[in-house]
Amino acid sequence: MEELRNIENYEQFKQALDTELANQAAGFVRTGYLLKKARDTDILASSGYSTVAEFAKAEYGLSKDIVSRYIAINDRYSEGGYSDRLQDKYEGYGVAKLQDMLTLPIEVVDLISPEMTRKEIAEVKAEVKAEEAISPIEVALEGTDVQQADMELCQKAIYKYAKDNPEKFKALVKWTKDGDSEELESILAPSGIAVLASRPQGIGKVFTSFKGEGQPVDILAVKNNEKHTLSMDDYAAKVREVFAQIADMPDAYEKTEVAPVQPENVIKKSESVIKKPEIESETPKSEPKESENVEKTECEVLSGEVVDNEPEEKQEEKATEEAPVAAGLDKNVLRGYAAAVSSSIKKLDRLWENRELEKCLEELTSIRWRIEQIQKNGGNAE
């Protein structure tokens, strides 16, 4: 208490507040654990309450949704998914950020650093949601970029990112001549913390995550969860391979032809802009409004106003799946439907975990439609 009274400047204030809010995350995990115990045992038998939701509402004014959120936080972030202890790797995020990440696939959560802001996390979520709107069939129909045929995943990701960001492209070509891994990191992640989003042809969204100076680099393909982790030196070597031939050309970094200037699709501290997905339907879509939870403070969360992570928007049907089945579908299309069913089942599990019932029904409708198409074509999607 005395330490808080002695705060005299912004740095001391910010550090103290970060510490207090981070400590609250452990409290949320413990609360979720207690509510789960009440749900799963006969602890409430003598209380007169029939369910934990009824108990929490009557005794603490907590809605059913808030109780579910406490439990979901414990499911995802506690040790073993059912304990009163926060996993070490989630210390420092704070309650609000942990809640914001609840609807993200755990593979994507692992790319996010505690230093990232809630706005930056919301931008990662927007990237993931944009990719989820593109079916596996659409991705398969993109084919393969012949220029990237022999590249590894990390190389395809950085090459596409650089092509979409001409200034970065030129900087990387120039760096290839005599730069080291530290200089590469300063080009791609000036603050040390960044999540680069790119979309190589035929692969879908790929994230490249930098978590601090000298830390390993994580590369994740969102569609199939293919993930690679490289040391910064190894990553630099892979990047050098991509741009080495270009760098050998006279005045390469000045004459290299790259894509027209577009907003930089990198998510990092104080410099975050989301690039639209490259595949769009013929009908223009309005840009999604920034989720209101970005503006809420962690204090609002701690006072009981649990953030709603997803906007109340109806999922759009995939354009490529609206055509009726005619004289039989190609086997590749059927395989795409089967892959989409598997993907939807995984997504449904996350939606059910967070009790997003309307979205569960929408996803079930989508699953049923795909399965019916497979049945109409002989039931063979192998």
**Tell me, what's the pLDDT at 381?**
58
Split at pLDDT 50, 70, 90, the class of 380 is low
Mean pLDDT of the chain: 79
The CA-atom distances, in angstroms, between 297 and each of 246, 306, 307 are 47, 11, 10
CA separation, residue 124 to residues 53, 100, 129, 263, 337 (Å): 32, 11, 9, 15, 26
**Residue of 204, 131, 140 lying closest to 335 (CA atoms):** 140
- Quote the pLDDT of residue 120: 93
pLDDT greater than 60 at residue 266: no
DSSP assignment of 152-204, as one string? -HHHHHHHHHHHH-HHHHHHHHHHHHH--HHHHHHHH-TTSEEEEEE--TTT-
- Which one has a higher pLDDT value, 298 or 1? 1
Kindly report the pTM of this predicted structure. 0.63
193-198 and 206-211 beta bridge pairing:
antiparallel
pLDDT of residue 382: 58
Report, as an integer, the average pLDDT of 145-169: 92
Q: Among 259, 223, 265, which residue's Cα sits nearest to residue 138?
A: 223
Select from 213, 308, 215, 299 the least CA-distant residue to 18: 299
Report which of residues 289 and 333 the model is more confident about: 333
Segment 184-230, tens digit of pLDDT:
999 999 999 999 999 999 999 999 999 998 899 999 999 999 999 99
Average pLDDT over residues 133-138: 90
pLDDT digits (tens, 9 = 90+) for 53-102: 999 999 999 999 999 999 999 999 999 999 999 999 998 888 899 999 99
pLDDT attached to residue 2: 64
- pLDDT confidence band for 364 (50 / 70 / 90): confident
Look at residue 357 in the predicted model and tell me its pLDDT.
82
The pLDDT of 143-165, averaged and rounded, is 91
Sign of CA dihedral 55, 60, 63, 64: negative
Torsion angle of C-alpha atoms 328, 329, 330, 335, degrees rounded to 10: -130
Domain residue ranges in the chain = 2-92, 123-268, 313-376
pLDDT tens for 279-305 read: 444 444 444 444 444 434 443 444 444
Cβ atoms 96, 341 nearer than 8 A: no
